[in-house]
Structure 1
Amino acid sequence: MIEIGKYNELRVLSKTEAGLNLTDGDKLVLLPYLHVPKGIEIGDNLSVFVFIQKDGRLTGTTQKAYASVGDFAFLKVVSDGDEGVFMDLGIDKDVFVPEREQKRPMQKGYQYVVHVYLDEGNDRLLASSKLYDFVEEENFEFEVGDEVSLLITEETDLGFNAIIDNKYIGLLYNNEVFDNIQPGDKRKGWIKTIRVDGKIDLTLQPSGYGHILDSKVMIMRELIKSGGVIELGDKSTPDEIYHRFQISKSAFKKTIGSLYKERLITISDTEIMLLTDDEEEDSE
Structure 2
Amino acid sequence: MKYLKLGVMQTLVIERKKDFGAFLRAAEDTAGEETVLLPKKQVPAGAEKGTAVEVFLYKDSSDRLIATTRRPLLTVGEVGKLEIREITKIGAFLDMGLERDVLLPFRERIGELKPGISVLVALYVDKSERIAATMRVYRHLKVAEGIAKEQTVRGTVYELSNPGVYVAVEDKYFGLIPRAEAYGNFSVGQEITARVIRIREDGKLDLSPRRRAFEQMDDDAELLLKKLSAAGGELPFHDRSEPAEIEAAFGLSKSAFKRALGKLLKAGKVVKTQQGIQLKS
Residue 83, structure 1, aligned to residue 90, structure 2: yes
Mapped contact 2:8–2:57 kept (Cα < 8 A): yes
Counterpart check, 1:145 vs 2:152: no
Is 1:170 aligned to 2:172, yes or no?
no
What code does the residue aligned with 2:59 have? I
Q: Distance in 1 between matches of 2:25 and 2:217?
A: 64
Please state whether the residue corresponding to 1:100 is helix, strand or coil: helix
**1:46 counterpart letter in structure 2:** V
8 Å contact 2:17–2:48 — kept in the other structure?
A: no
Aligned to 2:57: 50
Alignment of 1:75-224 (within 5 A): 75-119=82-126, 121-132=127-138, 134-135=139-140, 140=143, 142=145, 145=148, 151-153=155-157, 161-163=167-169, 166-171=172-177, 183=189, 191-194=196-199, 200-202=205-207
Q: Do 1:144 and 1:192's aligned partners in 2 also have CA atoms closer than 8 Å?
A: no
Q: Does 1:31 align with 2:42?
A: no
In 2, the alpha carbon distance for the partners of 1:195 and 1:36 equals 48
Task: Give yes or no for the alignment of 1:16 onto 2:50.
Answer: no
Note if contact 1:50-1:61 (Cα within 8 Å) is conserved in structure 2.
yes
- Against the structure 1 CA distance between its residues 64 and 197, is the aligned structure 2 distance closer, same or farther, given a 3 Å change threshold? closer
Structure 1 window deviating more from structure 2 (88-97 vs 25-34): it is 25-34
Deviations 1:206-225 (A, max 9, x none): x9xxxxxxxxxxxxxxxxxx
C-alpha distance in structure 2 between counterparts of 1:13 and 1:61, whole Å: 16
**Structure 1: 5+ residue stretches without partners:** 176-181, 208-232, 240-284
Q: 1:5 maps to what in 2?
A: 7
Distance 1:153-1:36 versus aligned 2 partners, 3 A rule: farther
CA positional deviation for 1:55:
3.5
Number of equivalenced pairs: 207
- 1:234 shift after superposition: 8.5
How far the C-alpha of 1:85 sits from its partner, in A, is 1.2
Q: Tell me the distance in 1 between the aligned counterparts of 2:166 and 2:207.
A: 10
Q: 1:39: Cα distance to partner?
A: 2.7
Structure 1 distance, partners of 2:20, 2:192, is 39
Amino acid at match of 1:125: I
Q: Deviations over 1:69-116 (max 9, x none)?
A: 001110111122111111000011211011111112322221111111
Instruction: Give me the whole-angstrom Cα distance separating, in 2, the residues matched to 1:203 and 1:71.
Output: 25
1:98 is aligned with what amino acid?
Answer: P
Structure 2: how far apart are the matches of 1:111 and 1:201?
Answer: 25
Match of 1:273 in 2: none
CA separation in 2, counterparts of 1:148 and 1:19? Answer: 50
Q: Decide whether aligned partners of structure 1 residues 234 and 125 sit closer, same or farther in structure 2, where only a CA change above 3 A counts.
A: closer
Mapped to 2, the partners of 1:41 and 1:148 lie a distance apart of 51
Q: Is the 8 A contact 1:99 1:105 kept in 2?
A: no
Length-normalised TM-score, structure 1 = 0.57
- Return the alpha-carbon distance in structure 1 between the equivalents of residues 39 and 148 of structure 2: 47
TM-score by length of 2: 0.58
- 3-state SS in 2 of match to 1:34: helix
Cα distance in 2 for residues equivalent to 1:144 and 1:88? 31
Provide the rounded CA distance (Å) in 2 between the counterparts of 1:136 and 1:101. 16
After superposition, the C-alpha distances for 1:149-206 in whole angstroms (9 at most, x for unaligned) are 855245979778224573533349678xxxxxx958698x88531359996224799x
Aligned equivalents of 1:151, 1:61: Cα separation in 2: 31
Q: Please tell me the root mean square deviation across aligned C-alpha atoms, in Å.
A: 4.3
